[in-house]
Every structure is written in structure tokens, then in C-alpha cells.
Structure 1
Amino acid sequence: MINQAIPSNTQGRNAGEAASLPEEFRAALLDHALAPLWDFLKGALPHGRPAGVTRPHRWRYADVRPLLLEAGRLVPVAQAERRVIVLSDPGRGPHAMSATGTLYAGIQLLLPGETAPTHRHSPSAARIVIEGRGGFTIVNGQRCEMERGDIILTPGGQWHDHGHDGEGPVTWLDVLDLPVFTAAESAYAEGGHAGCNAEEPLMTLTSELLRQGLRPPQAWRRENAYPMLRYPWQTARAALERLAAATGQACAELAYVNPETGQDCLPILGFTAMMIGAGQHWQAVPTSASTVFHVVEGSGESRVDDHVFDWSAGDTFSSTTFACVSHRATHGQPAFLIRVDDAPLQKKLGFFQERQLA
């Protein structure tokens, strides 16, 4: 989580400075729940680049899938509420409930005929479908079919549940801003009750009409903060190819946005569809955002500072703030990825940065 203990700075000072405080004084500070800032200042505010604990990592879907299926045999979904294997940042030690300082990620499984019960929670979530057909998510009464690569939003405070009326397993990557809410001591959930996950017809109709260029009178419309809950992958994929062709480029990217406002589709999390042409190299601009990448199609290799990850469809890997990140697709076919980051949060707080490569 982002509320990590700040490392001590005393090792970076000379012995005279480290010994300058009497033990009785330090003990008195501890007795009153106090701490000397000068011991920790450089750890809290290092120069040049944040001293985070996140360690870039790749989670292979081929490794996670058999364990997830075994979990499906061992753990009934009614008992688990959400049958998820968390992608745990190794930099935070065993059982870490986040992939980066601000991003939680986990892979969820539903088997045919199963339903994950209705609930809602303060963090926002998105589901990126990895495998299977017949899965669906219902958000505020609106049924969203789940096809490979689709992004399904379940914004904070919105009732939702999941079901599966097809064949074979359905899996998806959950990404939440849970660590932010945990750090703010504001993370909680509520169980559903009869009739809670119901559609508001006037709100749905208002959004449909606005997308058609029609606006009902003020008295007859209901504003919708999240007018689009399902972002089909096939639409994004085709748009990437059209953009690449129109610009004459081998690589392209498109941000997922609220279609009525053009703003990010969630308040804290940002989503971007990426296409890397066959055999092509993509050098990213270092930013202050922490990031999770999910591979929808293709294969390739990415470098995150000194870490090199080869990847294929279904894999997920993480990146730290201001990391030097590059990607290369293998020859023969393009690769398609979805990037998830906390840039919307950082922009709202006024500290998002991009840095030019040397």
C-alpha cells in the first residue's frame, strides 16, 4: 500500500550526527508518539526520483491460470464472494494487496452457472476480460457482456455483480484504486439487498440520446456520471488500426474516455489501448504515474529500467514512477496492450510530470 513506513536516513549521516541525540531524548520522543524528522527527511523526500518500494514484475497468465482453476475447485464462489488471485508486488513482501503503490490488480474466475453476489465498494474498479465467453457484469441494472479484451467499469459506490451463463471458465483482470482508499482509511464495501442493482431508465435513456446528438429537456433528463460502462475491445482494436493507417505510423494509442465529457472514464484510474506494429519498438516517455500493462494480443518484450520481461497474451506486468520503459513486438504480428495508470489522480492533485529522455 502507499502508507509504507519511511526508511530511516541515519545511515547516510556521519557517526557524530547519528550519536548527537542522547538515548534518553529518543526514548522520550517514543514515549510521546513523536519522531525526529531529520532522521527520515531524505527517505520521505528523496532528491530526483521517488524512493518507492514497488518492484517491477511480470505475472505470466500461464502460471496463474492453473492455480486459478485449482482455486475454482477448492473455493466455492459463494464462500469467497470474489474468487481472485492477487498480483502481489514482490517489493512489498508476501501477501501485498497491490501491484504498485496505487494500483491493485488480481485475476478473477467464474465457472459456468456461477454468480458473484451483488455488492458495492468505495474504490472504483475495472475488469479487463482475459478468457472465455458467456460472462457478464451487471452494473446499476445494466448488463455488460464480457468478451476478450473488453473493459467493464464498476465505479465506486455503484452496485454490481457478475455471472456466467456460457461454457468453460471466464477470467478477467481486476484493477482497482484500492491502495489509495486504504491509505486514506476510506476502503469499505456493502453487501447487496433485494432490488438494489436496478437500472434507472431515465438516466440510461439520457445517455443514449446524448450519444445520438439529442438532449431531452432538463426536467426530463437524469445526469449520468458514467454513461459508458462497457468498452468493447474490438471497437478499440479497429480504431487503433485506423489511426495507425491514417497517420502512417506502426504504433498507436488511444485513451478510454467518458464519451459525454471527453475526460478520463474513472476519477483515479486511466486506461489506454496500445498497438505496437510487428517487429516495432516503442520508447515511452518517463512519467510520474505508476502503471500496470496487460497484454491482450500478440507477444513481445518490454524493458522497465533494468528489468526485461518477455510477454504474450494474458500476461500482466508493472512499472514504477519515472521508469524508463520500452516495448518491442515480435516479428510477424502486431501486439496490443492496455495500459492502466494513476495519471488522472496525479493530474487532479497537480503533480503529474513527464520527463524528456536523455
Structure 2
Amino acid sequence: MNDLGRIEDLPADYVEEMRKVNLVPLWPSLRGVLPPLKPKPQTRATMWAYADIKPLLLKAGELTPIEKAERRVLVLANPGHGLDKMQASPAMYLGMQLLLPGEWAPSHRHTPNAVRMIVEGEGAYTTVDGEKCPMSRGDLILTPTGLWHEHGHDGTDAVVWLDVLDLPLVYYMEASYHINGERQPIKPDRGDRAYAGGGMVPTPIFERSHKAYPMLRYPWDEARSALLRLGQDRQDLDCIQITYVNPETGNDAENILGFYALMLRPGQTLRLPARSPSCVFHVIEGGADVKIDEQSFALTEADTCCSPGYTPVTLHNRHADKPTFVFMADESPLHRKLGVYEVRN
């Protein structure tokens, strides 16, 4: 029975007495917080076209020097949550960040986990916990919770990347804060080199508990090659996808959000089942038509879209003569830890 009574059905003096002592009746709101059969997400299927973002981001570079901005970012906000909340989904924040030649975004650390998916440009780098991570298109760079990180640019052209953070969740838990720091000295070792070979780890220094995040940069050229090999070797697979993981443990690269790269074969149409977590799709190379429930978006390179949870998604490679490569981020690790992860075919 869905009719549980309304707050308006109660005497006004009774409601007022409850509110005086910080009480509210559950039954008028019960179906709002526990809807039947599946959740009613606030997250809307939304697309952000890079052609719209880039000129506004470059304009921000003209209007606001890095010294005043610290991080020059345009937030990809989901209208279902309200633009002022600056979130793409319940647990994901997205932002397009600009760094101009010669700029340095100062060192800080914060409680939310973050990753950077490089969109365009060369010559920039992120230093994370003393490890200098070069930035090239399609590279994934981690800046996990609590680790110092800063951005610098020694090149000649603007560099843009997509930030993905679990900020909405950490903020909701009232655990979000940052600390400013000094410029980091560069350490000699780099995780992307030490763990470059699949199935191989450096013997002399290998300790499973030495670092929580032994690999901070995942180069796109290696991820792309892995997808091509997988697609060639496994012609029987419809979904050619890799997961970014911790090379020592095999666990997700970070604790709250999951990160993946997917390849669509030329002309391929791929249907993804409805899953409980929200998901973000960002085109690295090629183009894809994305159908989210009854809405459709035509994505070209560097475009981004978001789908709510419990919603089927269909991807179609718009190119008949070449593959399309898509970066994906979702809330699967969080859902699994909470025991609410679900797939509905």
C-alpha cells in the first residue's frame, strides 16, 4: 500500500510540537526515501560537449591568472542535482582544468580521491608524492586521498584534462578539507616504469604493503595497445574493456570510484546492462552515439556524458572504418563495499 498519509493530514499543533523537539514523522516521507522496486535518481542523463567547454575554459585563462584561481576549472555539473552542488552524480565530481605554458598550480593535498584524464596538449606534468607524472592525451593520473600533488607546464600549448573526484561523497560525510604545501622535490623512481610490464614487478624493491598506490600514471599508449590486443585475440568478446587496477593487489586503482577504458570495434553497437552505479563516458578517440534509457547523445572526441544508475546504456561506434576508445568512471567500488552493487539485465 503506497498511501501512507501526508504531513498535511496531521494536526498543525502536533506537527509543531514535534518540530520543537527536532522530531519528524517518517510515514509521510517513507516512499520518498524507500521507493518501490528501484531508486528514483536525481542524476540526469547529461552531455557536456568539449566544443562548448574549450572556448569558455580558454577565456577563463585570460580572465583569471593561476595565482588567483589556484586550480582553473570549469565544473561539469548535472542539472538533476542543481548546478550549485557541482556534482555529476551522487559520488562523482567532474571538472575540465586548464594549465597554460609556464604556469604552476601549487602543491596541496585533500581528503577526496582524484584522477586526471588528459584531454589535449603536451608538456605539462603532475607531481604526486614526489613522483613526476608527464601528461599526454589519454593518460590517467591518480592523486589519491592525502597525497601531495601539484601541476606544472614546461611546454608551449595549453593543456586540458578532465578531473574526476569522489568529492560529493566525501563532502556529504563532512570529511572534505585540503592543506596547502610547498613545492615537492622530485624522487627518482616512477611507478609507470616499474610496473610497465603486465605480470611483472621489480623484485629488489617489491613489497605489497610498501605503498598504497604504487602506480600513479597509467599511460594511454599502453592501455590502447592492450585494448587492441584483447580485441584481436578475443573475437568472441562483445565488450573489449580493461580496468585500471593496483598492480600489486589487483584491486581497483582507487577505493571509491572505478576507472576503465573501452574499445568499440568499427561500427559496433554495444548494450550495457542497467547497473546500480552511475557512470561517466568520455571519448578519447573516435566518436560514439550514446543512448541512455530514452535519451541519445552524439559524442565526438573529448565529449563527456553521464548516466544515472539502474539505467541501460547503448554505445554505438559512429565510425565504420576505425575503433572508438572511451574512458569510463563509475561508483562500482563504493557500491560493492556497501553491498548494494546490482546488475539488472
Equivalent residues of 2:132, 2:190 under 8 A apart: no
Q: Which residue of 2 aligns with 1:7?
A: none
Q: Which amino acid aligns with 2:147?
A: Q
Equivalent residues of 1:203, 1:223 under 8 A apart: no
Closer, same or farther: CA 289–325 of 1 in aligned 2, 3 Å: same
Is 1:185 aligned with 2:174? yes
Q: Any unmatched runs of 5+ in structure 2?
A: none
CA distance in 2, matches of 1:319, 1:65: 22
How many pairs does the alignment contain? 340
Q: Which residue of 2 aligns with 1:40?
A: 29
Aligned counterpart in structure 2 of residue 245 of structure 1, from 199, 208, 232: 232
Q: Which residue of 2 aligns with 1:270?
A: 258
Q: Which residue of 1 aligns with 2:328?
A: 339
Equivalent residues of 2:92, 2:165 under 8 A apart: yes
**SS at 1:130 equivalent:** strand
Equivalent residues of 1:243, 1:252 under 8 A apart: yes
Is 1:22 aligned with 2:11? yes
Runs of 4+ in 1 over 4 A off after TM superposition: 16-19, 198-205, 207-211, 215-218
**SS at 1:120 equivalent:** strand
Aligned counterpart in structure 1 of residue 118 of structure 2, from 116, 129, 138: 129
Equivalent residues of 1:203, 1:222 under 8 A apart: no
Q: Any unmatched runs of 5+ in structure 1?
A: 1-11
Q: Residues 246-281 of structure 1, C-alpha deviation per residue, up to 9 Å, x if partnerless?
A: 011465100010111111000001011000011110
Q: Which residue of 2 aligns with 1:146?
A: 135
Q: State the 1:144 CA deviation.
A: 0.3
So what's the TM-score if we normalise by structure 2?
Answer: 0.93
Q: 1:1-358 to 2 correspondence within 5 Å? A: 13=3, 19-193=8-182, 197-198=184-185, 211-216=200-205, 223-248=210-235, 249=237, 251-330=239-318, 331-356=320-345
Closer, same or farther: CA 23–129 of 1 in aligned 2, 3 Å: same
CA distance in 1, matches of 2:331, 2:142: 15
CA distance in 1, matches of 2:118, 2:224: 14
Q: Which amino acid aligns with 2:291?
A: R
Q: State the 1:20 CA deviation.
A: 3.7
**% of aligned pairs identical?**
43
Q: Decide which moves more: 232-241 or 86-95.
A: 86-95
**SS at 1:91 equivalent:** coil
Q: Decide which moves more: 247-256 or 308-317.
A: 247-256
Closer, same or farther: CA 216–327 of 1 in aligned 2, 3 Å: closer
**SS at 2:96 equivalent:** strand
